[in-house]
Structure 1
Amino acid sequence: MSWLQVLKSRFPASQAAQELRWIQQELPKSQWQTAVEQRARLVPLQYILGSQPFGDLTIKCKPGVLIPRNDTEEWCEALKQVIAKSNGPVDVLEYCTGSGCIGLSIATLANVRKVIALDINKQALALSKENLQLNSAKIKAKVEFQYGDLLKHQLPQTSATLLLSNPPYIPREHFSPAGGVEESPGNVRGFCL
């Protein structure tokens, strides 16, 4: 059975063909077979490819940290338009940063001075720091990623112009033990259902 046939057994033909193209464009040939097998087992494509576009940024994705969603990117782009029109410098405090995609995207604006982004998940904090390094050429503000547990009131002593939060909103029963969403048959590049 060809790789395309393997993917077509799980996804609509057009989606299978597109995902195979992405696998072949993004990964070395030596990884294609494994990638197709993982995707056929419904491993999210972003975890297989290792990244997800988010506006002008490339966000690394790893199991244990939720994948940036398309609706989050749309919300963030609308928020950036509002922030760009603000008078004076803006300081941002973000709760539940995850991969860091929102805080990093906001930090690309010229009038944002500082972003402090918190998370309780140490894997997420490590990944957000990797994403800061990966996108550092596009970041204009000072960015800090810190551990913080909102339920225990472990928050930084800082003032902020803007408070942001996009906490996980997927019901806990839909999570796998590894920390990701269990099945994603409709998952395509740019979406994580």
Structure 2
Amino acid sequence: MTARHALAAAAARIAAVSPTARLDAELLMAHAMGVSRETLLLSRLDDPAPPAFADLVARRLAHEPVAYITGTRAFWTIELAVEPGVLVPRADSETLIEAAVAHFAGTGGPGSVLDLGTGSGALLLAALDEWPRARGVGIDASDAALAIAAANAARLGMETRARFARGGWGGDGARHDLILCNPPYIATDDVLPREVVEWEPASALFAGADGLDDYRAIAGVLRAQLALGGVACVEVGSTQADVVGALFADAGFAVAVRRDLAGHARCLVLT
């Protein structure tokens, strides 16, 4: 069977578990072939489908995220390695980088970046790629996440500009020009897709009965970590901007909201 026909058959099956079935199938086929998705679509559709493709499709049908199957995920301008020890980076989180770019427009950009709850290092490393003269630190409570983030920094040639340390929302004791944070914000009784709840780390998802426990903790310690003239960009759930914004306003921050591509209030811009 050619890749073209195998893709059509796989997409029809994957549609039962994913709203992006055709994209999922293409990413899995490209991975099985060892080429980029662009190369697959431009020149390899009439090649024989590799035998490994069927196993990859079976894993997707078991609700395993595509990023865990392929081991990679594109984010902003970089490609990251991901595995079950960290959340899969999502396009929604790029809204934080967009907000930071807008804040520092017309300047030399931030000199120092802090990523609280760094996970795979996505936000920190995207920021360092955006501002090549910046340095930064990623903080996480998970040793597995820190190892993945450090490996991503090395793979991207940023190991001398990024360091990673175990810790919590209190940061590293220094002040930073840019703080990025995508904390857990799911309420414990919220229903999530199987590919999320069965595969991604619960510690990076759930934040108490109302999903706000971590925001309450962050609001009390964030100001001391922010340099004069700096900005903190904090991700929120699609219905949380007002209530979380009030927590940060009570802590003395000016709060603005930036929306993601779907129009959801996704990022609080705090100064």
Preserved CA contact (<8 Å) 1:107 1:141: no
Q: Give me the TM-score of the superposition, normalised by structure 1.
A: 0.76
Indicate the SS of the match to 1:37. Answer: helix
Indicate the SS of the match to 2:64. Answer: coil
Equivalent residue in structure 2 for 1:149, among 168, 173, 185: 168
2:183 is equivalent to residue 176 of structure 1: no
Offset of 1:149 from its aligned partner?
2.5
Q: Separation in 2 of the partners of 1:113 and 1:140? A: 12
Aligned residue type for 2:88 = I
* Structure 2 counterparts to residues 105-120 of structure 1, below 5 A: 105-110=126-131, 112-120=133-141
Q: Separation in 1 of the partners of 2:163 and 2:23? A: 37
Provide closer, same or farther for how the CA distance between residues 63 and 140 of structure 1 changes in structure 2, counting only shifts above 3 A.
closer
Equivalent residue in structure 2 for 1:58, among 79, 86, 99: 79
**Which residue pairs with 2:261 in the alignment?**
none
Q: Separation in 2 of the partners of 1:178 and 1:54? A: 17
Q: Separation in 1 of the partners of 2:25 and 2:109? A: 47
Preserved CA contact (<8 Å) 1:3 1:36: yes
**Which residue pairs with 2:125 in the alignment?**
104
Q: Which has the larger radius of gyration?
A: 2
Offset of 1:130 from its aligned partner?
1.4
Indicate the SS of the match to 1:170. Answer: coil
* Structure 2 counterparts to residues 118-133 of structure 1, below 5 A: 118-133=139-154
- Counting aligned pairs with the same residue, the percent is 25
Quote the RMSD (CA, aligned, Å).
2.8
Offset of 1:42 from its aligned partner?
1.0
2:188 is equivalent to residue 166 of structure 1: no
2:28 is equivalent to residue 7 of structure 1: no
Matched residue count = 174
**Which residue pairs with 1:33 in the alignment?**
54
Q: Separation in 2 of the partners of 1:87 and 1:8? A: 46
Q: Separation in 1 of the partners of 2:159 and 2:91? A: 23
Preserved CA contact (<8 Å) 1:54 1:101: yes
**Which residue pairs with 1:191 in the alignment?**
none
**Which residue pairs with 1:21 in the alignment?**
26
Greater relative CO, 1 or 2 (CA 8 Å, sep 6+): 1
Aligned residue type for 2:74 = P
* Per-residue deviation, residues 6-37 of structure 1 (Å, max 9, x unmatched): 3244346xx33332221111224353122101
Indicate the SS of the match to 1:59. Answer: strand
**Which residue pairs with 2:39 in the alignment?**
none
Q: Separation in 2 of the partners of 1:92 and 1:36? A: 39
Aligned residue type for 2:166 = Y
Q: Separation in 1 of the partners of 2:75 and 2:199? A: 26
Aligned residue type for 1:106 = A
Preserved CA contact (<8 Å) 2:110 2:178: no
Offset of 1:146 from its aligned partner?
0.8
Preserved CA contact (<8 Å) 1:23 1:49: yes
